[in-house]
Structure formats: structure tokens, C-alpha cells
Amino acid sequence: MPLTPEDLAARLGELVVTIDAAACDVADVPLVDYPGGVRPHAEVVLAGAGAVGRGEHVAFDTEAHEALRSLVRRIPFGRRSVHAWSAWASDAPVQARAAIEAAVIDLGLRQQRTTLFTLARTTPRPIRYVVSFGRVPDPVAEAARHPDVELKVDADPAWDDRVYRGLAEVGRVAVVDFKQAGTRADHERAHRALPYALIEDPALAAAPWSASLVARVSFDAPLTDVAALEQLPVHPAAVNLKPARMGGVLPALELAGRCRARAIALYLGGMWEVGVGRRQLHALAAVVTSDGPNDIAPREPRTGRLTVDEARHGFGA
């Protein structure tokens, strides 16, 4: 029987990992769809017992990546559990903690010559995913540039009914993201036009919403830790889990367990990962959120669902 998210977090946390070398590679990565065309990037590289583990840092500025490199230089070598390694980084910024924790988990799984799926007692499921795009002047035309895949669109409160009719005709919009903006009327209009789409991050101050909209509302940005679930103004239909926003995979799995216990649907979101971090999100989604509108599209989106290799050791091999 597959493990619950909480039990998987416990098993991951108990993995004993040996670290005897650590580095952090910092470099800009050309990325056409990133603002400015260049993505600042860093990757934590940990080695021990003949294996190497990696984790991607998703901070948006070079200074944060350089700060992570300084932190990684101070990692004490030795043999500890994933929980203990994560505790060592507990005072670091959440995105840095997440990168270190991911690298530790990857290294631990490789040292044990196992996979996330074996540990979870399951096989990876095909992953539903969406292609997302930011606020653009003509979202209907932009949607046409991404045929045959579901979409996540950033809403502009200034959109008129013509735009919403066009998006409804597209028929593939799974999530409308308000980025914590808009009025109650804006949120309700989007819901009326796209009743089967999730309405993500409507401005919290706009609550209360209609019962119909609440049945399709989801939250992302407010979920900075497990306790944040209790602060939401409504019981959401779904939440967008982002390990990098919460400080790592372990707290994300803990929140996933709480959501499942409350019949809250789950999907994973990325933060412009360009390397191993994206593959790790794919692996996690294949275990925990395979049926959600996961905002973790491969760099070259295809039709159908995404599959991951269950045989290679590590996390996001």
C-alpha cells in the first residue's frame, strides 16, 4: 500500500546521509521566456560514499545565489539524517533551505541505491500538467500558441467580457491566477466565464465569495508554511504546493497530508526551475499530485501526460 504524504516525509527524513564534499555552482542560464532572457541560477552539489546529489536554488537574483554558495561552504561534513541536515539549514532563507534539502534527499536516495517511488511504495503515475504564461495583452492569441495542452493564465482585472468569451472558447484553461489581485466582482466574472477552471490566489481581502466560486478557489502564495493553511479565509478546493516556497520537500509533504485529510485537492507549482529542480518536481508530482493541473511543464511541452523514469536511483534523476 502506498505511503501517505506524511509517512513518506517521515521515511525521507530518517534517511541517513554521508556528506564529505559540498559545492555550489552559480551561473546565468539563457532562457527565452524569462524576463530579460537570462535566469540567474545555482545548483547545490553534495558528494559522499561514492554518490552525488543535487538541488536547484530558485532565487531570482545573483546575490541570493552567491549567499547560498557561502552557506554551502560551511556545511559540516559527516553522517546525519535528512532531518538533521535540514535542521542545520533551518536559519537560511526558505529557498536556500529547499535547495540544500533537495540535494541531501537526492544524495541519500543514491547512497541507498533507491528511488522516491520505492520509498513511497508506489509506481510513478503519468502526470497531468499545464503550460502557464504571464499577463499578456492578448491571452486568447497566446493560448493559440500552445495547442493541445491545458493552460494556466495570469488574469488581468481589466479584461473585458470579450477576452473571457475567447478563453472559454479555447476550452483548455485549467487555472486562472489572479496573483492576489482583483475585486470580488473580477473573481466572480472569471468564474462565471470559466466555471471549470480553478481561480487561484484571488485577493484575500475580497472574500467572502459565492459558494460556487469557493468550490473552485485555490491558493498558492499564502502557503509559506504548514500553519498558513489555517489562516485562509475559506476552505479551498485546491492548493498549489511549492516546496521552494515552503523550505523544502518535507514541509510540502506535511502540508499535502493535511490537505488530503481535509479533501483539498493538490497540484505542484514551479518557480522557474531550469534543471534538476524541475525533474525533482516531476518525480514528486508522480507520487503525490499526478492528477492535478501541475504547473511544472517540461521545457518542451508535449500533448498527453508526462512520465518519469522509475528505475534510476536518486531524486529527479
Which of 24-38, 94-108, 185-199 bottoms out in mean pLDDT, i.e. has the lowest?
24-38
At 222 the pLDDT is 95
Q: How many CB atoms lie within 10 A of CB 300?
A: 5
At 289 the pLDDT is 96
Cell numbers placing 316: 529527479
Segment 155-164 shows an average pLDDT of 93
For residues 228-262, b (16+ Cβ closer than 10 Å) or e, as one string? bbeebbbebbbbbbbbbbbbbbbbbbbbbbebeee
What architecture does CATH give domain 5-114?
A: 2-Layer Sandwich (3.30)
- Binned at pLDDT 50, 70 and 90, residue 316 comes out as confident
Give the residue among 192, 184, 190, 230 at the shortest CA–CA distance from 208: 184
248, 98 contact by CB (below 8 A) = yes
Q: How many CB atoms lie within 10 A of CB 95?
A: 25
Cell numbers placing 143: 493560448
**Strands 173-181 and 150-154, bridge-based pairing:** parallel
DSSP 8-state secondary structure symbol assigned to residue 126: P
Cell 522516491, residue located: 116
At 34 the pLDDT is 77
Please state the φ and ψ torsions of residue 46, each to the nearest 5 degrees: -115, 140
Is 310's pLDDT higher than 80? no
Cell numbers placing 311: 528505475
- What pLDDT digit, counting tens, does each position of 111-149 carry? 999 999 999 999 999 999 999 998 999 999 999 999 999
Which of 20-24, 59-63, 167-171, 306-310 bottoms out in mean pLDDT, i.e. has the lowest?
306-310
Q: What angle do CA 177, 259, 280 make, to 5 degrees?
A: 70
Segment 43-49 shows an average pLDDT of 97
Count of CA atoms in the C-beta half-sphere (13 A) of 292: 26
At 311 the pLDDT is 78
Q: How far apart are CA 34 and CA 23, in angstroms?
A: 26
- Binned at pLDDT 50, 70 and 90, residue 33 comes out as confident
Domain positions in the chain: 5-114, 130-288
Cell 560514499, residue located: 49
Cell numbers placing 117: 517511488
Q: How far apart are CA 283 and CA 277, in angstroms?
A: 10
Cell numbers placing 56: 536547484
DSSP 8-state secondary structure symbol assigned to residue 310: S
At 73 the pLDDT is 96
Segment 97-114 shows an average pLDDT of 97
Is 298's pLDDT higher than 90? no
| pTM, two decimal places | 0.95
Cell 514528486, residue located: 284
Do 130-288 and 5-114 fall under one CATH topology?
no
What CATH number has the domain spanning 130-288? 3.20.20.120
